[in-house]
A and B are shown apart, each in its own frame.
Chain A
Amino acid sequence: MIKIENVTKNYESGKVRINALDNVSVEIERGEFVVLNGPSGSGKTTLLNIIGLLTRVTSGRLWMENQEVSHYPDHFLSALRREKTGFIFQQFNLLPGYTTWENVSLPLLPMGMSEKTRRTMAMKLLEELNLETRADFMANELSGGEQQRVAIARALINDPEIILADEPLSNIDTGHVTIVADILAELKRRGKTIITSFHHSQAQVDKLVDKTFRFDSGRVL
């Protein structure tokens, strides 16, 4: 379903050139639970960004459902991204001036739903994540762990087929790890493709994992 073929990604800032991914080839089937792990700076986030169509490859090809998308123009990528993927960012990337529920319902905005429908949908997810009492708080008034869960809710609101989660467990306490792990298990049961990165292996999710790719300095080991 997702095929990555000889993908290299370089970042250039001034004279420094960083080889974030070096000739990586990976295949992921529909419904698989895939874990990327490896040390800090090894390229996990970069690969998630490429699969999530947030950044483009320097060379190589990316296939999604038999379409080669590496050369797609921006307006195609955004449409695909909106339709197919939900992204939980390592840094959450919530909008600070908006309330929790507004942040969660953000991906629904381009679909032209009424505010009432959007709020109802957001509240349903927030309840599952024990956040219903925080619905009208500003995003910047939330604790790190709460923000993490809001970011999860936002990624799931448009019911995407592919869920990309960058370190979804790293900022939350053990009690909430169980909640998030349960959500991931439920998503897998519903046939979603889940690609996630962990620094360390996580006992609560180990039993869900179909494939693990270990990264080191931009290469898959």
Chain B
Amino acid sequence: MILNSYIITYLVCSSLSLFIGLAVAFNGFRIWRKWDITSHADAQYRLEKEVYLIITIVSLGFFLRILMVPLWFWSLYSMIISIPGAMCLVGVHNVNAPYSYVASALKLILPALYAYWLILNLLDRKVATQPFMKQKLMFLPPLGILIVIETILDISFFFSTPPRQVSCCTSLFDIPREGVVQIVTEATWIWVVLFYVLAFFVVGEIIYFLFFQKRSTSPGKERWFGNKSAMFMQTLVIIVLFVVYILALHTKISPLFLGLPFHHCIFCLGQEVWDALLSFSMIFIGLCLFVVYFWVISSSKYREVNPLLSEKMVRLLKWSGCMLAGGLIIMSIHLLLVI
């Protein structure tokens, strides 16, 4: 186990995040079971007060999770010198891959889930009947479980003994396993092209839903609301897009941006090309917000409160669109400059 100030800070934040996750999971579940908006009993008012406390704690948890993203990656970065063979984060991850990759993915997924909760909460508080309350409370236990899983992965990562020599990006990605064929396939533009096609499709969708949402307050124009299969489809599309994005970065964009024709490492890209990191973050946030939009409107309670929330939803879509488009523009400009 390696300890330095980054890792210690990370571990402190992580313990706090675990504590917050468990506290809101247990209390969320307890309140969910007893919640009855029609009750006038004092017990119900006490639950309401407790919900305000939960909101405060979740907000805190969200900021903590945001802070933990760079902390985690800095911690990994700080370990490079202590791990024989590691030259970038790939080597560090290889100390106990594939779990380390799951741990890293959770670093991005968890703040997104927190953000979803907070957005749902913001909308819930705009309506007197608090239509999303039960949904909100029931979201907390799975969130808590994910944080527990993440903590276990983190611990197993920090406590695992590095193998005598880890393989790192150059040996993994740059030396073709199947000889020349690999180089040729990896050199294709197919993933980049596919990424742009899908990304433009999603941008188009966002624009479509922006207009749909703006008109949705007139009656009979609500067909997307409460539609669970649309939600699953959209989530799937976004996940596919994201996977294609990673492949595009790996196969073509990394080598181009890094200026090393055979260097495919995404982590090196993030470390060395700041605008690539910026566009990655913006695209990620944009896609997350679009998924959040769908998760909200697919709620069975959403239809009846749409007139009250429509304006907020339009704003959510605008943010989503701006983030995604902004990220795409930054990436495209850089791409045009290097080819």
B48 touches A71 (CB 8 A): no
Q: Is A117 an interface residue (CB 8 A)?
A: no
Within 8 A of A (CB), among B29-85: 37-38, 40, 42, 45, 48-49, 52
Q: Is B128 an interface residue (CB 8 A)?
A: yes
Given contacts A71-B128, A73-B128, A73-B130, contact A56 B37 (CB under 8 A): no
A interface secondary structure, majority: loop
Within 8 A of B (CB), among A43-71: 56-59, 67, 69-71
Closest CB in chain A relative to B141 CB, distance in Å:
22
B42 touches A12 (CB 8 A): yes
Q: Bound state CA distance, A73 and B129, in angstroms?
A: 8
Q: Bound state CA distance, A43 and B24, in angstroms?
A: 40
A72 touches B128 (CB 8 A): yes
Q: In the complex, which residue of chain A has the Cβ closest to the Cβ of B38?
A: A71
A71 touches B37 (CB 8 A): yes
B: contact size bracket? 10 to 19
Contact of B48 among A57, A70, A74 (CB under 8 A): A74
* Residues of the A chain whose Cβ atoms lie less than 8 Å from the Cβ of B48: 73-74
B45 touches A56 (CB 8 A): yes
Q: Is B315 an interface residue (CB 8 A)?
A: no
Within 8 A of A (CB), among B287-304: none
Q: Bound state CA distance, A216 and B90, in angstroms?
A: 79
B40 touches A57 (CB 8 A): yes
Q: Is B221 an interface residue (CB 8 A)?
A: no
Q: In the complex, which residue of chain A has the Cβ closest to the Cβ of B42?
A: A12
Within 8 A of B (CB), among A9-57: 12, 56-57
A-B contact count (CB 8 A): 23
Q: In the complex, which residue of chain B has the Cβ closest to the Cβ of A68?
A: B128
A70 touches B40 (CB 8 A): yes
* Residues of the A chain whose Cβ atoms lie less than 8 Å from the Cβ of B45: 56
Chain A CB within 10 Å — which of B42, B45, B49, B128 has the most?
Answer: B128
B40 touches A56 (CB 8 A): yes
- With an 8 Å Cβ cutoff, the count of chain A residues facing the other chain is 14
Contact of A58 among B40, B129, B130 (CB under 8 A): B40
Q: Is A137 an interface residue (CB 8 A)?
A: no
Q: Bound state CA distance, A59 and B42, in angstroms?
A: 11
Q: In the complex, which residue of chain B has the Cβ closest to the Cβ of A59?
A: B40
Closest CB in chain A relative to B287 CB, distance in Å:
31
* Residues of the B chain whose Cβ atoms lie less than 8 Å from the Cβ of A59: 40
Contact of B125 among A12, A57, A70, A75 (CB under 8 A): A75
Closest CB in chain B relative to A9 CB, distance in Å:
10
Instruction: Give B112-137 as 1s and 0s: 1 = Cβ < 8 Å from A's Cβ atoms.
Output: 00000000000001001110000000
Q: Bound state CA distance, A73 and B37, in angstroms?
A: 9
Closest CB in chain B relative to A20 CB, distance in Å:
14
Closest CB in chain A relative to B293 CB, distance in Å:
24
B52 touches A76 (CB 8 A): no
Given contacts A56-B45, A58-B40, A59-B40, contact A71 B129 (CB under 8 A): yes
Closest CB in chain A relative to B308 CB, distance in Å:
12
* Residues of the A chain whose Cβ atoms lie less than 8 Å from the Cβ of B49: 74
* Residues of the A chain whose Cβ atoms lie less than 8 Å from the Cβ of B37: 71
Q: Bound state CA distance, A164 and B130, in angstroms?
A: 28
Instruction: Give A143-154 as 1s and 0s: 1 = Cβ < 8 Å from B's Cβ atoms.
Output: 000000000000
Within 8 A of B (CB), among A62-101: 67, 69-76
Closest CB in chain A relative to B106 CB, distance in Å:
32
Q: In the complex, which residue of chain B has the Cβ closest to the Cβ of A72?
A: B128
Q: Bound state CA distance, A76 and B48, in angstroms?
A: 12
Q: Bound state CA distance, A192 and B40, in angstroms?
A: 30
Closest CB in chain B relative to A23 CB, distance in Å:
14
Given contacts A12-B42, A59-B40, contact A74 B52 (CB under 8 A): yes
* Residues of the B chain whose Cβ atoms lie less than 8 Å from the Cβ of A72: 128
Q: In the complex, which residue of chain A has the Cβ closest to the Cβ of B41?
A: A58
18 pairs, CB–CB < 8 Å, chain A vs chain B: A12-B42, A56-B45, A57-B40, A59-B40, A67-B128, A69-B128, A71-B37, A71-B38, A71-B128, A72-B128, A73-B48, A73-B125, A73-B128, A73-B130, A74-B48, A74-B52, A75-B125, A76-B128
Interface residues of B (CB under 8 A from A): 37-38, 40, 42, 45, 48-49, 52, 125, 128-130
The 7 closest A-B pairs by CB, nearest first: A72-B128, A76-B128, A58-B40, A59-B40, A73-B130, A71-B37, A73-B48
Given contacts A57-B40, A74-B49, 10 further A-B contacts (CB under 8 A): A12-B42, A56-B40, A56-B45, A67-B128, A70-B40, A73-B125, A73-B128, A73-B130, A74-B52, A76-B128
